[in-house]
Chain A
Amino acid sequence: MKKLSFFTVLLLLSVCSFAQSEKYVAAMKKNLAGMDSSFRNPADLVKLANSFERIATAEKTEWLPYYYAAFCQVNAGFMEQDKTKTDGIADKANELIKKADSLAPNNSEISCIKSMIASCHMMVNPQERWQQYGAESSSNMEAAMKQDPANPRPYFLKGQGLKYTPEQFGGGCATAKPQLQIALEKYNIFKPASEIHPDWGKQIVEKLISDCK
């Protein structure tokens, strides 16, 4: 009987923890489903970022919710029209990605977000800031390529950056397109580790390539 009760407890525990991770995956999936519609405005992105952050702080050991929270924040930063607010939003994104980084060091996806955060700071005043943040953005982009050569996202970021750089600075379609095509090739064979692992960017790459035709 004693044995039985021990097994029962064990079983119950495993059922609970299974339920817990199921709850986690379900919550993540629900948030990820709302990702596209949140890109309408920065306020919705912040709302979604907060929701990811709540999962992150409750779970404590998962890097993905911190990663997505930072991803939503930095995109909110890019979308924010009031440039005086951008640095604050980017700082918040940085705070989140640092936590993700401590849970999953040397992660290519995390390096991509770091690169985006640096670009976001730079956008506030590109002329005066590119020396500092431009270097920071590209070094993180390069790190991301090294950490996982199969990851299409650093190539996407590089191509996107070139696409929106004036031709006089060596940007524009001519230089961007080859990069974007590399990214697309990588997207075509890329398989995310799970349903909730990063798997974004392909559609934008396709759109950018079609814009360059």
Chain B
Amino acid sequence: MKHILTSLLLLGFITTKAQVTISGRVTDNKNKPLPGTSIQLKDSYDGATTDSSGNYTFVTEEKGEHFLQVTTSGYFAVVQKIVIGTTSMVQNISLKEQITELKAVVITAGSFEASDKNKGAVLNSLDIVTTPSANGDVTSAFKTLPGTQQVGESEGLFVRGGAATEAKIYMDGNLVNNFFYSSTPGIATRGRFNPFLFKGTIFSTGGYSALYGQALSSALILESTDLPERSQADLGISVVGVGGGIQHLAKNKKSSWGISYNHTNLWLGLKINKFKQDFFTVPVYNQLDANFRIKTKNGGFIKYYFYISGNKTAFSSPDIDSAVLKDAFHLKNLNTYQNINWKDRIGNGWKINTGVSFSTNKDDILNELQDASGKKVTIETPEYFAAKNYSVENKAGYAQARLVLEKKFAGLSALRFGSDYFYSDEKTTYTSYDGQKFTEKVIDKIFAGFAETDVYITNSLAAKIGSRIEHSAVINKWNIAPRLSLAYKFPDNSQASFAYGIFYQNPERRLLPAIASIDYSKATHYILQYSKQSKDHTFRIEVFYKKYNRLYKTDFNNFGQEVAANTLGYGDAKGIEFFWRDKKTFKNVDYWISYSYLDTKRDYLNFPSSIQPSFAASHTASFVFKRFILPWKTGFNLSYNFATGRPYYRIAYNNTQNKFDITDMGKTINYNSMSVSINYIPSLGKKDTKSFTVWVLGINNVLGQNQVYTYNYSYDGSRKEAVTPPSKRFVFIGCFLSFGIDRTQDAINNNL
């Protein structure tokens, strides 16, 4: 017994003596060494890690057939069969690179992303609320990026020579109609939604994905937040109103609900800031929203969002056609929006993203000619005076259903396809001064089908190829819109991207119903971009060419209303844009600079020929500066927006020649505006505080620079009047509180 044991042990002793050296070099397929690669003789402790030149060496006592496993992050692991004999052996191994999100090129031509997570994002979610000229408005922060115009007389994004109607806004995939509060003459309204609702935003200035359509110029794609980090109550008080809300996160952190209410009342704002218009009825906005979000067991989400808002405003301004009279504009609006969305993994690499949205909108507009004392005046002749007394009732309902399926393949490649169906019912009743009513109803049903594929050939080369088909009941034709983007990453991590696409759009509501049968307007985009992005710097240069075909030309219908008459309009836009953001060079300072050059002309609506539209400036630039001074617990933000003068025209109908003519034109002065904001966070760093307070002071156009957006002409053209911002400066003071666990505490605990 002892004997056997001893001999066995002895045998083991002898075996340990017979060691074999295994060595070699690990490289990628371009023969570049891969340091830090792990080599292991499977099921043994034996192995090594490659050095800086990719070499490894180790000794083993194992014999016979074994497997050598070679792994390093970002590369496919290799398992190689080897037979260990008695002499040392050399095993050189080549690994194939995996396509990973961390390394892969990002297709960025034509798009800016605001996100806290995604690579390639240009802004983060906080930038939207800390850019002073944006005033906490979701879309306004994007006006400091290249490609957009500094239009202040009306709301919306004017992108690369496109009108605001050419930019559409989507929330969780569904189109949001009436994203902005209803238009008021000469005053741009704000977006309805709170910027904190969204965790990520993609602002496309062209060449956007086949998943979206019906926008000739631009798509703003908003993605709502997932679950809140914790239960929390918020309260805000400012010169423009009060608001509050709660977000409740379930104990198991799988679901949440929230409700918030905002009451905006410009009474105090009107006292502090001097307005050009006389707001004889103080604008009041009431807004309620509610949501619930459920995290599914596969990590997906079901999200529901409900919004209702009612508001009224009325103001008067001097009537341009008379010396003594006033134009009084009244607006009442009731808007609802709801959206339910389900996004999930459904196995085998498939993902589903489906949702429905419903929205209603009702505007009651009343315009009156008033005398100095505010009494209604009716003048029947001349006719254009009579037309100043009118009322309009707009009633609209929208519904949308959407389904997108996605299949992920190895190495980031993916296929997406789906369809959406959009139903709109819009009714307008116009009542003229003498009580005559004109009612028009437009119902449209737009069906769209789309497919798109992401192809990653290597980590440095990727393509997105897609196409969209659409059918609109109003136009009663099919269209096919191909889209293509390519991106290539250079060895120094800079990248070039290209985007091409065809985009179609229906006429906007006010041009309908058309006099004759019409087709879709069409835009073709070509975009070339070079960008270099690191953690601290972003540099982009983009050139683009956009061709417009079949833009709508207008003419008068039987009621004297100017509507779409044909699609003989056309135009183009070309330009070059720069963007530079730097978070490093100056300590604690973060700034960005945008510059856009735009050369655009178009013949559409009532334009007599192809001209530069009045919403397009040739040169636009923005500078945004942010600095947080920690000892003061205060952030200082500044933005400066500049644009060269925009053209303006008096286009009048020539009754003798039966056509529109330009009878006068000019160019506005350059636009300059500097805005500042200060955020003071007193509870920053205080231990055990249960509330988190932010004080905000913001001043728009702090230098009081003269700004002229455009000119309005009197009916006979003898007088023109500058359209300027409603107030020269706007001062905003507010205090926002969050109750719950102080969020700064987490930062403290973990800020290593």
**Chain A partners chain B:** yes
Given contacts A132-B116, A161-B752, A169-B747, contact A27 B36 (CB under 8 A): no
Q: Flag the segment in B427-435, B507-515, B681-689 that touches A.
A: B681-689
Q: Is B547 an interface residue, CB under 8 A from the partner?
A: no
CB pair A58 B685 closer than 8 Å: no
Q: In chain A, residues 1-39, which have Cβ atoms closer than 8 Å to a Cβ of chain B?
A: 4, 8, 11-12, 15, 23, 27
Render A122-162 as a binary contact track against B, CB cut-off 8 A, 1 for contact.
11111011111111011001000000000000000010111
In the complex, what's the smallest C-beta–C-beta distance from B17 to chain A, in angstroms? 16
In the complex, per-residue mask of B49-75: 1 if CB is within 8 Å of any chain A CB, else 0: 101100000000000000000000110
Our pick among A83, A138, A141 for the contact of B535 (Cβ within 8 Å) is A83
The one of A8, A43, A54, A119 in contact with B45, judged by C-beta atoms closer than 8 angstroms, is A54
Residues of the B chain whose Cβ atoms lie less than 8 Å from the Cβ of A191? none
Give, as a whole number of angstroms, the nearest-CB distance from B40 to chain A. 5
With both chains docked as a complex, state the minimum distance between the C-beta of A160 and any C-beta of chain B, in angstroms: 7
Q: Which residues of B contact A201 (CB under 8 A)?
A: none
Give the distance in Å from the alpha carbon of A46 to the alpha carbon of B4 in the complex. 43
Asked whether A128 lies within 8 Å of B49 as measured between CB atoms, the reply is no
Instruction: State which of B46, B746, B750 has its C-beta within 8 Å of the C-beta of A54.
Output: B46
- A169, B744: Cβ atoms closer than 8 Å: yes
Would you call B746 and A134 a contact (CB within 8 A)?
yes
Q: Provide 22 A-B residue pairs closer than 8 Å at the C-beta atoms, listed in order of the A residue.
A: A43-B35, A46-B36, A46-B49, A50-B36, A53-B40, A54-B45, A55-B45, A58-B44, A89-B73, A122-B752, A124-B535, A129-B116, A130-B747, A130-B751, A135-B229, A161-B750, A166-B751, A168-B630, A170-B686, A170-B744, A171-B751, A175-B687
User: Number of contacts between A and B (CB, 8 Å)?
Assistant: 132
Cross-chain contact of A168 among B44, B45, B633, B746 (Cβ < 8 A): B633
Does B40 contact A134, Cβ atoms closer than 8 Å?
no
Q: Which residues in B have their C-beta under 8 angstroms from that of A175?
A: 687
B684 close to A165 (CB less than 8 A): no
Known pairs A58-B44, A164-B751, A168-B630; A50 contacts B38 (CB<8 A): yes
User: Which residues of chain A are within 8 angstroms of B74 by Cβ–Cβ distance?
Assistant: 88
Q: Which residue from B38, B44, B744, B745 sits with its C-beta under 8 Å from A53?
A: B38
* Known contacts A135-B229, A162-B749; is-contact A50 B47 (Cβ 8 Å): yes
> A27 contacts B45, CB within 8 Å?
yes
Closest 8 A/B residue pairs (Cβ): A170-B685, A50-B38, A47-B49, A168-B630, A134-B746, A165-B751, A134-B750, A170-B748
B492 within 8 A of A: no
> Closest Cβ of chain A: how far from B126's Cβ, in Å?
8
Most-contacted residue by chain A among B49, B102, B117, B743 (CB, 10 A): B49
B124 CB–A CB distance under 8 Å: yes
A interface list, Cβ under 8 A from B: 4, 8, 11-12, 15, 23, 27, 43, 46-47, 50-51, 53-55, 57-58, 78, 83-84, 87-89, 91-92, 118-119, 122-126, 128-135, 137-138, 141, 158, 160-162, 164-171, 175
The interface residues of chain A lying within 8 Å CB-to-CB of B410 are: none
Decide yes or no whether B299 CB sits under 8 A from chain A: no
Q: Which residue of A lies closest to B117 (CB)?
A: A132
Bound Cα distance A165, B687 (Å): 13
- B223-255: which residues lie under 8 A (CB-CB) from chain A? 229
Query: In the complex, A141→B752 CA distance in Å?
Result: 14
B contact residues, range: 35 or more
Compute how far the CA of A11 lies from the CA of B8 in the bound complex, rounded to whole angstroms.
Answer: 12
- Residues of B with C-beta under 8 A to A131: 116, 229, 743, 746
Closest residue on chain B to residue A138 by CB atoms: B749
CB pair A88 B752 closer than 8 Å: no
A165 lies within 8 A of B748 (CB): yes
Cβ contacts under 8 Å, A124 to chain B = 535
* Contact partner, A169, options B4, B116, B124, B751, Cβ 8 Å: B751
- Asked if A169 and B73 sit within 8 Å, CB to CB, the answer is no
Chain A CB count within 10 A is highest, among B38, B685, B751, for B751
Assess whether B1 is interfacial by the CB under 8 Å rule: yes
- In the complex, how many angstroms separate the beta carbon of B597 from the nearest chain A beta carbon? 31
A161 pairs with B751, CB closer than 8 A: yes
Tell me the bound Cα distance from A11 to B686 in angstroms. Answer: 66
Closest CB in chain B relative to A50 CB, distance in Å: 4
What is the predominant secondary structure among interface residues of chain B facing chain A?
loop
**Distance in Å from the Cβ of B35 to the closest Cβ of chain A?**
7
Give the residues in chain B near A128, CB-CB below 8 Å: 116, 124
- Structural contact, B687 and A130, CB atoms closer than 8 A: no
Interface centre among A128, A137, A162 (most CB of B within 10 A): A128
A91 and B631 contacting across the interface, CB-CB below 8 Å: no
B73 touches A91 (CB 8 A): yes
Which chain A residues border B631 with CB–CB below 8 Å? Answer: 168
Contacting residues, chain A, for B8 (C-beta < 8 A) = 12
Complex Cα spacing A123 to B38, Å:
26
Does B383 count as interface, using CB distance less than 8 angstroms?
no
A88 to B229 alpha-carbon distance, docked (Å)? 25
Question: In this complex, what residue of B is CB-closest to A115?
Answer: B750
Smallest beta-carbon distance B334→chain A, Å: 36
CB distance B750 to A133 under 8 Å? yes
Complex formed: what's the CA distance from A125 to B36 in Å?
25
Q: How far is the CA of A4 from the CA of B2 in the complex (A)?
A: 12
Q: How many angstroms from the CA of A13 to the CA of B5 in the assembled complex? A: 12
Please report which residues of chain B, range 477-517, place their CB below 8 angstroms from some CB of chain A when the two chains form the complex: none
- Point out the residue from A53, A58, A162, A169 that lies within 8 Å of B684, measured CB to CB: A169
Min Cβ gap B202→A in Å is 17
CB distance from B219 to the nearest CB of A (A): 25
Residues A168 and B685 in contact, CB atoms below 8 Å apart: yes
| CA A40 to CA B52, docked complex, whole Å | 15
Measured CB to CB, the nearest residue on chain B to A130 is B747
CB pair A58 B751 closer than 8 Å? no
Q: What residues of chain B lie closer than 8 Å to A84, measured between beta carbons?
A: 534-535
Chain A residues contacting B49 (CB-CB under 8 Å) are: 46-47, 50-51
* B47 contact set on A, CB distance < 8 A: 50-51, 54
Quick one: CB contact mask for B3-29 with A, threshold 8 Å, 1 for yes?
Answer: 011001000000000000000000000
A177 to B120, CA, bound (A): 40
Among residues of B, the one whose C-beta sits closest to the C-beta of A87 is B102
Chain B residues with CB under 8 Å of A78's CB are 752
B43 within 8 A of A: yes
Knowing A58-B44, A83-B535, A128-B116 are in contact, say whether A134-B38 is a contact too (CB < 8 A). Answer: no
Report the nearest B residue to A158, measured CB to CB.
B749
- Which residues 725-752 of B have a CB within 8 angstroms of A? 743-752
Interface string of B271-301 (1 = CB under 8 A from A): 0000000000000000000000000000000
User: Cα distance A58–B38 when bound, in Å?
Assistant: 14
B4 x A8 contact (CB < 8 A): yes
CB-CB under 8 A from B686, the residues of chain A are 170
Query: Which residues on A sit within 8 Å (CB–CB) of B48?
Result: 50
